[in-house]
Each structure stands twice: as structure tokens, then as C-alpha cells.
Amino acid sequence: MNKTLRPVESAHGTFHITDVYPSVDGGRFPIKRIAGEPVEVWADIYRDGHDVISAALVWRHVGDDAWQTAPMTPHSDDRWGGSFVPDRPGRYSFAIEAWTDEFASWRHRFEQKQRDGCDHTLDAVEGAGMLTQAQAGGPAAAAVIIRQCEIFLQTGEPGALLAPELRDAMAGSQFRRDLMRSQLYPLTADRPRARSGAWYQMFARSQGKTPGVHATFGDCIARLPDIAAMGFDVVLLAPIHPIGQTHRKGRNNAAIAQPGDPGSPYAVGSAEGGHDAVHPELGALDDFRAFVAACQSHGLEVALDFAVQCSPDHPWLTEHPDWFKRRPDGSMRTAEHPPQHWDDVVNPDFGSEDATALWRALRDVVLFWVEQGVKIFRVDNPHTKPLAFWAWLIREVQDRDADVLFLSEAFARPKLMKGLAKLGFTQSYTYFTWRTQRVELEQYLGELTSYPERDFFRPNFFVNTPDILPFHLQSGESWMFKSRLALAATLSSSYGIHSGFELLEHTPVPGREEYLNSEKYEIRVRDWDQVGNIKPYVAALNRIRRGNPALQQFANMRFINVDDGGVIGFVKEAADQGNVIVAAIALSSEPREVWLPLGDVMVGRGEARRPVAELEDLITGERHALEWGGIRLHLDPARDPALLLRCIA
């Protein structure tokens, strides 16, 4: 039996718009960029036949009605490129439009017939007729079209139809009868702090000067000049809320607290209040606002730890008992992750019948602190809460204030960590803390700087945390602390330390990657200027970071083949390629001579791009000329495990 083919119902869909870059999971999740900087977009655009194609980018902020547009230009093999600039932080959508430029197609056919010596009289009439059908492309374009049409009608000379200015005028003045738009692709544009920053994490209660005495926000303000002098951008506070009494932990996570033990600030909530309250010994809410203002005066931002968990004494357990799970005997189900068990903490039940109210309450907590001047939140263990909740909360908050940033503190399975970043977290913790060998670092950085990870995953390299004292720091060797600091500060555009790192604190719980006498369970008082500290080294690294845009970005880097397995070398370029930094960092303590092959390193953009001629040592100021496509330098980890060199053409 013969089958009758159905006719094509429409000319739409003629174009194929494929292999769109940038996109994450085919446009399911937003790419991340910085507001005010160009976003390059590429796509394969083609159709059947020989007609001339035109294409454009269209984009808009989610709060805008009108679409903006920018042209795309063809490159080789049907690959088209264009760019646009998201002018402010927030969520955007962009798409690609393609259509047939009918006048350009006519012009191409007409010129071909002229070259072939064919009769083109009717073709000229056809082209003139297209001018009479032109749509409004603006007064200037209309004037050109009318003038050229009149010239042709008066003279009959086809040259009037081939004028370059008419081609340009007609390009934007035709009805696009086969216009096709691609799917929409989401984009999140953030402020620059989302990409780059140096973080200093501390417990507010440990910033005093008297042993055993709880510090106040006034004491924290007194510490700010020291933190600012080290060149940090963000002060990250562990939870500052009232701490529960029930099952309070003692020193070194002892199951039973002794009189005077302050407990863990991650057991949030007591009779004095919950997540929207300040621990009374720190001060009042006005004192916290004064701390935020003092940070701003020192060029610092405040980040708060957002721990979605409660002490058994949290007001919510009384006010909203349905938000929490109970065991068969009626007792509260406390937090646990076998073999660990935390009976001083209970987790909200995101599957409760009143979950909608719970979600809104947690959102309102974040918005409350935003009102107090906090625009950055480190989220504790987000991977243990529903992913849909974080996608909702981040959007709810950022729709109200697009400057708010979220750091995911998730040491979990790699795809889960990346999934949290796709859902909206601005930055993410990483496995850098445990990557110590050259091959491990190169492989891990290769993964994070590849596509599509570089378009949605912004890593923040913390060298230590209140929970983690890595084994490689437990010897307390100064060169190792400096090496890890230099790696974090230069490999990533965002990095952080927990207070005490600058003092080389390194006493572990035997056999574990944890601090003995951890600040999580007691108040610590330190001499911040004690002998042996590396504060000047921290300050020098942060000064170099601020002075070199190449170190304020993450993706434009490549490793170089240093002739020593105990040294890692890499090159980083600023977006405009005008600032190029070479780094060589020792991974072991022995002095060595290293050869850096740099013959293919260039500086500058476009025609101004030149091979590197010499290197400036950013620590000493010395200059070294390249010879035979590279340079041999001495590296003494005991003095400084890192060579940081600016390339000069």
C-alpha cells in the first residue's frame, strides 16, 4: 500500500541552531558570569540551500520586558559568534535568532549572474521591488533605501541596488518571514566578589584577650585592622547565635560539658533565641551592625555561617514541633551520620506536612541577616538537605537582592557537589585540601577548568577549616604552610584560611585530621603576633593577588612542564591577556634549580601580542631575561616555596 507524504505545514524550523556555547546540561541550568563583563556566545547555525543567513543574540534581565539584541557574525564552518554584556547582577535569559536575509541573498545571486554574463534585467526589477517592501529600520536606513530606489527608477542602472550602504540599510529593514529563535538559555550574573576574594574564617567568641572570657563584637572590631593588614576581603564568622544547653558538648567534643564550657555554636538556639538572634555574650544586634560597619570601613565584607540545624532548646521545637522527627518512643531524633552522632543537634524535617512554612522560615532567616548588611552566606553541609530547597531559597533571596552570594560547604561526592553549584550556589568548597602531589593537583585543576565545569563551578580553596587539619600540616613546618597558602591563593581566584593558620597551629587529635582543643568546643585566646607567624607572607600573597588580574580569575590557566616532579608550574592570564603570571611552587622542602619553559607564553591582545622577554619577581622585584625559550631559577622552600613572576614583553 502506498503511503502519502504529508506536506510541510510551515517554513519555520528551516534553521538548525546547535552546539550552543556556553550552556550547562543543554540549558537546564544557568551559566555563571560577572555583571559588566562580556559574555561570548557561539553556535553552529545552518540551513538548506544557498541563501544568506543572518543571526543575532537576544537577551534580557528577568525583571525587564524588552529584549536587547546584538549581531552574530559567521566564522568558519557555519560557526557563529557574538557577545553581550549583562549590565547588573541578577538572572538573565538569552537566545539565538536566525533568519534569511532575502535582500542579501538576492544581491549574491545578482552579482553571480553579472559575473557570468547572464541577462539580469528581471533580477534588477525584483531587487527594486524588495526595496518597496522594506520595513521601518529607522530614519537613516529609510532615507538610504528611498534614495537608492529613486536612482534605480530614474537611471535603470543596477549599480544603485548594489551600493554597500543599501546592503547595510536593508539588513535591518526587512520582514523576517522565516525568523527562528532557539530555546532560552539561563545565565546568572554576579558581582565581582563571586569570582575572587580572600576569606578569613574565625569564631567571634575567640577574638578577646583574656583566657576563658567570651569575646564581644567590640573585641572582634579590635581585630579588624590586623585582618585587613593581611589583605583579606571577607571575614567569615562561625554561627553567632545563642547556643543550646541540652546535651551541650564539652572540650574536644566531650559528651558531657563541664561548668563554663561554651558548647558548639553549631548547636543553634536556646531560650535567648534562634537563627535570627545574637548570642548574648557577643552583644546585641546593634553591636553586630556596628561590626558590619567597621568591616566596611576596613574594606572587608562579612560572611555568616548558615547552619540549618537546631539545638534541642531552639524555640522552633516548641513553636513548630511538626518541623522535627521523633523516634518511636516519642524522643527527639538527633542528628547523626554513622559512626558520628551529635545529640546536641536536631535537624528539621523537610518532609513534614508543614514543610512549606519551614522553607519560608529559613528563607526569612537569611533575609533578616541581609537586612543587617550581610551579603555572603557559607552554608554548612548543604548536601544533607533537599536540593530543591536550595534552588528555591537561593532564587527567593537573590530575586530580592542579587548581590547576595552563597558558598556551599559540601565535602561530598563530586557530582553532588557540582549539582549544588548548578542549582545556584555561587561558590563551592573543593577537594583541594587533600590534593598534595603534582599529578593530583594538575588532574583536579584540569577537571575544574574544563567545560562545562568552568561555566558553573566556582571553587574556593580553603587550606584548613575548623573541622579539618590536614595531615600534611600536622608537622608544623613553615615551608609547608606557605606552600599550601601559595597554592590556594594562586591556583584559585577565591581561597580561605581558618584563624590560627597564620600562627602555624598544627596540634591534631592523634591519628585524625582534626584540631586538638578545637575552637568548636572552647574559647581560644591567642597572641596574634607570636614568634614564627607567617602574617607578612599572607599579606604579600594577597597584595600580589590584588595587583594582578590574572590571579583574580580561575579558568584561564595552563600547567607548564617543569623539569622537577617536586615543583608545580603554571601560567595564568587576565581576561584581556595584558597581565600574565607564571608561578612555580615547591611541593617538597629541598632547595632546587628549576627550568621553566616559557617560549610559547605571550603577553598582550591582538596585534600587540608579543612573546615574553623577561620576568619580574613579584616578591623581590628582581627582573630575569629569558634565554633559549625559558629561564632557570633557584627555589629555596625554607625561604619561600613559591616563585611568582610577572611576564613582560
Residue range 131-169, pLDDT digits in tens:
988 886 789 999 999 899 999 888 888 888 999 999 899
- What pLDDT does 607 receive? 82
CATH level 2 (architecture), domain 557-648: Sandwich (2.60)
Do the Cβ atoms of 561 and 628 come closer than 8 Å? Answer: no
Q: Give CA–CA dist 103/170, Å, rounded.
A: 7
CA distance 67 to 366: 32
What are the Cα distances from residue 228, in Å, to 66, 294, 509, 547?
43, 11, 31, 16
The count of other CB atoms within 10 Å of the CB of residue 561 is 8
The pLDDT, as a whole number, for residue 6 is 47
Task: Give catalytic status of residue 409 as yes or no.
Answer: yes
Q: Which of 65, 96, 93, 84 is nearest to 185 (CA)?
A: 93
Q: What is the DSSP letter of 7?
A: P
The 3-state DSSP composition of the chain as helix, strand, coil percent (nearest 5) reads 30, 25, 40
Cα 487 from chain centroid?
18
* Cα 354 from Cα 304, distance rounded (Å): 27
Helix or strand (DSSP H, E) at 530: none
Residues in the chain with pLDDT values less than 70: 1-13, 136, 336-341
Of the candidates 380, 453, 502, 522, the residue annotated as catalytic is: 380
CATH fold match for the domains 28-101+179-189 and 557-648: yes
Q: Comparing C-alpha atoms, which of 97, 80, 85, 73 is closest to residue 187?
A: 85
**Which residues are known binding-site members?**
249, 309, 344, 381, 520-521
Chain center to CA of 202: 23
The domain locations on the chain are 28-101+179-189, 103-172, 192-312+354-547, 557-648
In the numeric block, the cell 547556643 is attached to 243
Question: Catalytic residue among 409, 453, 455, 640, which?
Answer: 409
DSSP annotation of 28 reads: T
Fold of 28-101+179-189: Immunoglobulin-like (2.60.40)
Provide φ and ψ at 82, rounded to 5°.
-165, 180
CATH fourth-level superfamily of 192-312+354-547 = Glycosidases (3.20.20.80)
Is 103-172 a domain of CATH 1.20.58? yes
- φ, ψ for residue 578 (rounded to 5)? -85, -20
Strands laid side by side in the 73-74 sheet: 16-21, 39-46, 79-84, 73-74
Q: Return the H-helix or E-strand segment holding 82.
A: strand 79-84
pLDDT at residue 337, rounded to an integer? 63
Position 1 scores a pLDDT of: 42
Owner of C-alpha cell 541577616: 369
Binding-site residue set for alpha-maltose 1-phosphate: 249, 309, 344, 381, 520-521
CA distance 588 to 586: 6
Name the DSSP letter for residue 608.
Answer: G
Question: Which grid cell sits at 573?
Answer: 592570564
Query: What are 68's three cell numbers?
Result: 536587547
CB contact at 8 A, 642 and 584: yes
CA distance 24 to 3: 41
Per-residue confidence (pLDDT) for residue 476, from 0 to 100: 97
Distances (CA, A) of 271 to 207, 241, 267: 25, 11, 13
Residue type, 256: I
pLDDT at site 115: 85
